[in-house]
Chain A
């Protein structure tokens, strides 16, 4: 009978302990939720990463909001794509010379986590660009996610 009662109270103790731990576990979004295409600048000829002296970058159609405004010596930029369209255009100014970039892509939903919810990922098909200062653009990784990976390489 003692064994019976001990087991009973032991079981109650365990279940209440576990329940209290589970109940107190906070739920908050800890993952990255911004979906951005990572672009790294390279110097044509050398093939080495190179940061432009100054860089301005904005979405065409959203000129009121600059993504980068005369940023000094940055070698990586992160580009948000328009979730409601399958193309979007950007103006890139490097050392006072400007070019236009056009991204062509598809968009699909992805569940990041229960706490963070859904985001739209992209698959890059093509990047068209003018060649005032830019030389080549290579799509290194076409899948644009929340991992801040290098998706494209911009040679200038």
Chain B
């Protein structure tokens, strides 16, 4: 009798490995050909609330305006945890509402092929040769994911990023850091929209 009661108070929660591909970056590229972004993530549930998460991607950025041209490209990676605030009995491994906390690094190359400046004495042009830098940042990423079909989900994340180091001096900050955004600002927001494939790897008995 006691065993039956205990069985009613518990659920089998499926722990999953998830593989996600961002569709916002490629979609944004259709509107703005200067920013090319591909990225995805791999996560694994530690328990019903916490997942280990690894994001990785590639960005290529080019920008031109009346007084300068700029190019940047590189790989980035974010590593951290996702926290689901929905109770296990409601989420059942299919829904996520919560936030990620991650540490990010970006290995990028940037150059300024041409810039010019003018003053009382006339104009002057210059260029800054290509160099490779390593940037560091931290990120909080609130978001929502929901399962549409069996083991297939969609979801979005807003990315709120704080720059720790751009890997450059204060005079030649990067206009764009792959995986971060505007390197002249200490805060950079972003957004991702993911298509996600889930693979259940274990079932865990959880008390309701």
A contact set with B: CB distance below 8 Å? 3-4, 7-8, 10-11, 14-15, 18-19, 22, 34-35, 59, 62, 65, 67, 80-84, 88, 108-111, 113-114, 117-121
User: With the chains together, A114 CA to B184 CA distance in Å?
Assistant: 7
Return the contact of B173 from the options A19, A62, A111 (Cβ within 8 A).
Answer: A111
Return the contact of A109 from the options B97, B126, B146, B176 (Cβ within 8 A).
Answer: B126
Q: Tell me, yes or no, whether B150 is within 8 Å of chain A by CB.
A: no
**Contact (Cβ within 8 A) B171 A11:** no
Most buried by B among A84, A111, A121: A111
Looking at B2-10, B61-69, B196-204, the stretch in contact with chain A turns out to be B61-69
**Contact (Cβ within 8 A) A67 B120:** yes
**Contact (Cβ within 8 A) B146 A7:** yes
Number of interface residues of B (CB under 8 A): 37
Hey, which chain A residues are within 8 Å of B128, CB to CB? 109
B contact set with A: CB distance below 8 Å? 24, 63, 65, 67-68, 90, 94-95, 97, 112, 115, 117, 119-122, 124, 126, 128, 144, 146-148, 154-156, 158, 171-173, 175-176, 182, 184, 189, 191, 193
Hey, which chain B residues are within 8 Å of A11, CB to CB? 144, 146, 154-156
Hey, which chain A residues are within 8 Å of B189, CB to CB? 22
Hey, which chain B residues are within 8 Å of A22, CB to CB? 189, 191
Measured between C-beta atoms, what is the minimum distance from B9 to chain A in Å? 22
Q: List 19 A-B contacts (CB under 8 A).
A: A10-B144, A14-B156, A15-B191, A22-B189, A35-B117, A59-B121, A62-B120, A67-B120, A80-B120, A82-B122, A84-B122, A88-B121, A108-B171, A109-B171, A114-B176, A114-B182, A114-B184, A120-B124, A121-B171
**Contact (Cβ within 8 A) B126 A117:** no
Return the contact of B124 from the options A10, A62, A84 (Cβ within 8 A).
Answer: A84
**Contact (Cβ within 8 A) A118 B68:** yes
When C-beta atoms are compared, the residue in chain A nearest to B97 turns out to be: A7
Return the contact of B95 from the options A4, A34, A120 (Cβ within 8 A).
Answer: A4
